[in-house]
Structure 1
Amino acid sequence: MAVLVALGAFLMTLAGGWTAQRVTDRRHLVLGLAGGLMLGVVGLDLLPEALKTAGTEVFGVPAALLLFVAGFLLAHLAERLLAELPRDPHSARTEEDQAAAHGGAAPDGRVPEVGLTAAAAMVGHSAMDGVAIGAALQVGGGMGASVALAVVAHDFADGFNTYTITSLYGNARRRAVAMLFADAAAPVLGAASTLFFVLPEPLLGGYLGLFGGVLLYLAAAEILPEAHHEHPARSTLLCTVAGAAFIWLVVGLAG
């Protein structure tokens, strides 16, 4: 049953990535929407769940919040370290040409590996989504249905964000598509894995807090500034608000 539900997440992830590809002529709107979706997922979905499941405190601060801050700092540190790595100018130029030819973003100093790392984190998160589906179905009752609804609905945002993040850092379209398919397959594999083990709730909560920090860094430091850099329009801001409101709607329906 868990695997069948995860197949719905697979299709929704691909739908989100397909949508991100089709609107390259309105890139600022895509980025604005992606930033809103990421903000909504962090503030309205990941953090509340992390605080609920990782209930322990360290020096008076919930462990989930400490890991949230750690995730933010780790993402910042990873970007700085990758940006300082020496690169071959010819290969960098090739990446720019490939990205531009396929409707992607020119790096403008961004390191493509950062985008791949961020997308890989999204894939890991999607795998944990599948684990969450399987674990909730093991508990039974209404929990399985609500978690499945939340995961399937917000995996549209995951697919949208995975393709957008990978492309934003100047990766060629084929890489973005490959990461999109990996992100789509991850929930199915995660759900299948719950047939063999049960994930402790505190561990799951800690992971959600850590990933939430990474996602917030990407939204606040990269996605939203890029969205408003060349097109500081009200429509971009409205897309950001709409993205966050959509996640609020999903969380409310799942609850």
Structure 2
Amino acid sequence: MAVIVALGAFLMTLAGGWTAQRVTDRRHLVLGLAGGLMLGVVGLDLLPESLNAAGRPVFGVPLALLLFVAGFLVAHVVERLLAVRHAAHGAENGAGSGADGGRVPQVGLTAAAAMVGHSLADGVALGAAFQVGGGMGVAVALAVITHDFADGFNTYTLTRLYGNDRRKALLMLFADAAAPVVGAASTLLFTLPEEPLGAYLGFFGGALLYLAAAEILPEAHHRHPALSTLMCTVGGVAGIWLVVGIAE
């Protein structure tokens, strides 16, 4: 049953990516919405789930929050290291920062790969929920399928934002779409402990928040500081809130 439900997540992810690539003439609105969706997923979905699953304290701080901060810092460090390497390589070859404003394609691919990992965890969580019972499985299925639209949207947007071509963005999108199916199928072979999954969600949430706050939203408002862009961001957060509320 979990694998069949995961096929719905597959289609929803593709729908999100298709939407992202079809509105390229309104790129600032796409980025504003993506930033809102990412903020909503982190604050209203990933972080609460991680606190519930891996909330034991380490030196007075819940493990999930420590890993959340660690994920934010790791994303920042990785981006800075790649940017420095990219700049040095460009200087050696007499190249400037380029039309992408110095953005490093590897960062976009790394971020998209993290989204694929998150979708894989979604599939595992879906399978684990059906192991617990039908009611739990339906609740998790609703959450996974609805927010996978945001996952597909963000995977395609992140890959393209950092200067990767459309082919690579589509490959990452299809990988993200297939990941829940693979994750759900894997639970036919084992039972996943709750705490490691919660720890992963906390770490990934921190990395995703960095990308939203430091890259996506500033880029959205850089050339088009319009009210419509801001409303797309608020709408993205509100949409995830609605999804979480319905799932509960």
Q: If the length of structure 2 is used for normalisation, what is the TM-score?
A: 0.95
Residue 141 of structure 1: how far off its partner (Å): 3.8
Residue 187 of structure 1: how far off its partner (Å): 0.5
Residue 36 of structure 1 aligns to which amino acid in structure 2?
Answer: G
Residue 89 of structure 2 aligns to which amino acid in structure 1?
Answer: R
Q: Deviations over 1:144-178 (max 9, x none)?
A: 11100000000000000000000000000101011
Q: Secondary structure of 1:87's match?
A: helix
Distance 1:87-1:173 versus aligned 2 partners, 3 A rule: farther
Q: Deviations over 1:5-60 (max 9, x none)?
A: 10000000000000000000000000000000000000000000000010210011
The partner residue of 2:132 within 139, 153, 169 is 139
Residue of structure 1 equivalent to 2:101: 108
Residue of structure 2 equivalent to 1:242: 235
Paired residues for 1:4-153 under 5 Å:
4-85=4-85, 86-87=88-89, 106-153=99-146
Residue of structure 2 equivalent to 1:228: 221
Q: Is residue 2:206 matched to residue 1:204? A: no
Residue 117 of structure 1 aligns to which amino acid in structure 2?
Answer: T
Residue 48 of structure 1 aligns to which amino acid in structure 2?
Answer: P
Distance 1:233-1:139 versus aligned 2 partners, 3 A rule: same
Q: Deviations over 1:182-227 (max 9, x none)?
A: 0000000000000111111110100000000000000000000000
Q: Secondary structure of 2:89's match?
A: coil
Residue 88 of structure 1: how far off its partner (Å): 5.7
Q: Secondary structure of 1:84's match?
A: helix
Identify unmatched segments of 5+ residues in structure 1: 97-105
Residue of structure 1 equivalent to 2:165: 172
Residue 180 of structure 1: how far off its partner (Å): 0.3
Paired residues for 1:156-167 under 5 Å:
156-167=149-160
Identify unmatched segments of 5+ residues in structure 2: none
| Percentage of identical aligned residues | 78
Residue 244 of structure 1 aligns to which amino acid in structure 2?
Answer: V
CA distance in 2, matches of 1:215, 1:23: 23
Residue of structure 2 equivalent to 1:99: none
Q: Secondary structure of 1:195's match?
A: coil
Root mean square deviation, CA, Å = 1.7
Runs of 4+, deviation exceeding 6 Å: none
CA distance in 2, matches of 1:250, 1:239: 16
Give the total of aligned pairs. Answer: 245
